Amino acid sequence: MTIKIVTDSTCDLPPSLLEEWDITVIPLYINFTEDSYLDGVDITRVEFYEALAEVEESPTTAVPGVDAFGEVYQRLADQGAEEILSIHISSALSATSEVAQKAAEDAPVPVRVLDSGQLSLGVGFQALRAAEMASEGKDMARIVEVLKEEGRRTYVFAALDTLKYLRKSGRMNPFIAGIGSLLDVKPILRMNQGKPSSELVRTRKKSLQRVVDHVRELAPIQEIALVHSNAPQEAEALWEELKTFVSDQPHPLSAIVTPVIGSHIGPGAVGFAFRTKA
């Protein structure tokens, strides 16, 4: 069976990897400065973050309609797909999987929709793994089984530079439960198995160190990547703090977090997406 992999633009995979592994991305919408943009199509990530720092109005985000997913599934079927695996951002943060499932009901070939339980490269790891296994001829049941097992070992930790954008967010409310009225804090976000949570520290330096500590506590690491919201130098500095501890890992992939997430966490966030060995 020919299995094709679909994901959404929150996966944060660079175009080169998407092309190499023949992964199809459905872009989500960013509503910003009185315009609506398709993520990664109508506005670049750097352009978005530079604009975000200059405006007071908070962007909003939206999932494309059922037709957008249906058109992708139809196109892939026309190109020879016999089955489709559609992997998306955690349902705790977005309705993307729900919309994909509705489209799957009328798709011309069987479509399995998988809630990744993740965001950013936590989703990207799963899409890449699925594409790799599909290229090896593994069947759908085996691919989904492996993704679910590896998903339990996949984490995203990120230190935010400000609480401002998160407080205004409706989509990201699960992250800020229990934060209360504290303002002068630096939040650390954690995502694992669809369960978003947060931790608060008082300074930027301490928040960055806590992210590194969390990775160390969960070692040994099988795969790791840097994620940041237009803060590449700080992300590299964070890697410098960790690299001797994970000396068996090559320099990691570094991805700018999608504006779909950046709208809610703001610029300056840095952290890691990683999968543990056990």
Q: Find the mean pLDDT for residues 37-62.
A: 86
Is residue 186 within 8 A of residue 160, CB to CB? The reply is: yes
> Is 154-276 in the same CATH topology as 3-28+63-151?
no
Euclidean distance between CA atoms 261 and 255, whole angstroms: 13
Distances (CA, A) of 232 to 92, 194, 227: 27, 26, 9
Is residue 193 within 8 A of residue 224, CB to CB? The reply is: no
Percent of the chain with pLDDT over 90: 72
What is the Cα 26 distance to its own chain's centre?
A: 13
What percent of the residues of the chain are helix, what percent strand, and what percent coil, each to the nearest 5? Answer: 40, 25, 35
Domain boundaries, the chain: 3-28+63-151, 154-276
Task: Output the pLDDT for position 57.
Answer: 78
Q: Encoding tokens for residue 244?
A: 């001797």
Nearest residue to 96 via CA among 110, 113, 79, 83? 113
What digits encode the pLDDT tens for the residues 107-151? 999 999 999 999 999 999 999 999 999 999 999 999 999 999 999
What is the Cα 80 distance to its own chain's centre?
A: 28
Task: Output the pLDDT for position 75.
Answer: 98
Task: Output the pLDDT for position 171.
Answer: 54
Sign of the four-CA dihedral 39, 186, 189, 243: positive
Q: Find the mean pLDDT for residues 24-29.
A: 96
Nearest residue to 172 via CA among 153, 193, 151, 191? 191
Distances (CA, A) of 167 to 50, 97, 101, 191: 20, 24, 30, 18
Q: Which residues sit opposite 35 in a β-bridge?
A: 32
Q: Which of 29-33, 257-261, 267-271 has the lowest mean pLDDT?
A: 29-33
Q: How confident is the model at residue 32 (pLDDT cuts 50, 70, 90)?
A: confident
Query: Higher pLDDT residue, 124 or 46?
Result: 124
> What burial class does residue 55 get, using C-beta atoms within 10 Å of its C-beta: 0-12 exposed, 13-18 middle, 19+ buried?
exposed
Euclidean distance between CA atoms 207 and 221, whole angstroms: 21
Q: Which CATH number fits domain 3-28+63-151: 1.10.3720.10, 3.60.21.10, 3.40.50.10170, 3.20.20.370?
A: 3.40.50.10170
Query: Higher pLDDT residue, 63 or 250?
Result: 63
Task: Output the pLDDT for position 183.
Answer: 59
Q: Which residues sit opposite 77 in a β-bridge?
A: none
What digits encode the pLDDT tens for the residues 167-223? 776 555 556 545 544 556 888 999 999 999 888 888 999 999 999 999 999 999 999
Q: How confident is the model at residue 162 (pLDDT cuts 50, 70, 90)?
A: confident
Euclidean distance between CA atoms 153 and 147, whole angstroms: 10
- pTM for this structure? 0.93
Task: Output the pLDDT for position 226.
Answer: 97
Q: Which fold is adopted by the domain 154-276?
A: Hypothetical Protein Tm841; Chain: A;domain 3 (3.30.1180)
Report the mean per-residue pLDDT for the chain. Answer: 92
Task: Output the pLDDT for position 177.
Answer: 47
